[in-house]
């Protein structure tokens, strides 16, 4: 039995036999893959739970506290006609021509949207949440 690798781990010596090196590497990769999968599932669960806590009239700061920085942002206005896709519900909440800002987050299962709009003449920094929704990640509208 020939020993090929000598490592010091926490003050102890760990020997890996040459014939078991491949198994060790594969085992380590499997452990990392399973760990990564568990962490991403936990993060997705936390995002979903935090998203459920967002309510209409929340401030930008409160939404950031709950969900973190959005991965996507955009500003537009409500069109007079039919709106298609995630924004279609805004035309029943806001009058035509009203500006709004859309924030977006995603995990492996869902994409989450939060929309901010004015309730009066306040500047964009003071807009509040007017709607939110989510749909499966990768959905085509």
Contact 83, 98 (CB under 8 A): no
Say yes or no: 60 and 49 in one domain. Answer: no
Say yes or no: 44 and 61 in one domain. Answer: no
Query: 18 in helix, strand or coil?
Result: helix
The domain spanning residue 80 has which CATH number?
3.30.160
- What digits encode the pLDDT tens for the residues 55-92? 999 999 999 999 999 999 999 999 877 777 788 888 88
Say yes or no: 32 and 94 in one domain. Answer: no
Distance CA 48, CA 53 (A): 9
Structure tokens at 40: 């991403």
Say yes or no: 84 and 17 in one domain. Answer: no
- What digits encode the pLDDT tens for the residues 22-37? 666 676 666 665 555 5
Total domains in the chain come to 2
Say yes or no: 121 and 139 in one domain. Answer: yes
Say yes or no: 138 and 69 in one domain. Answer: yes
What is the extent of the structural domain holding 14?
1-53
- What digits encode the pLDDT tens for the residues 128-138? 999 999 999 88
């Amino acid at each position: 039995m020939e020993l090929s690798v000598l490592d010091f781990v926490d003050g102890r010596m760990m020997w890996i036999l040459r014939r078991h090196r491949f198994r060790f590497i594969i085992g380590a990769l499997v452990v990392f893959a399973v760990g990564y999968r568990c962490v991403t599932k936990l993060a997705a669960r936390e995002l979903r739970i935090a998203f459920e806590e967002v309510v209409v009239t929340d401030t930008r700061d409160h939404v950031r506290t709950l969900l973190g920085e959005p991965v996507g942002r955009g500003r537009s206005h409500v069109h007079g006609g039919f709106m298609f896709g995630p924004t279609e519900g805004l035309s029943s909440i806001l009058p035509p021509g009203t500006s709004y800002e859309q924030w977006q987050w995603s995990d492996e299962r869902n994409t989450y949207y939060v929309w901010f709009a004015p309730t009066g003449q306040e500047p964009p920094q003071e807009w509040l949440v007017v709607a939110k929704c989510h749909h499966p990640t990768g959905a085509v509208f």
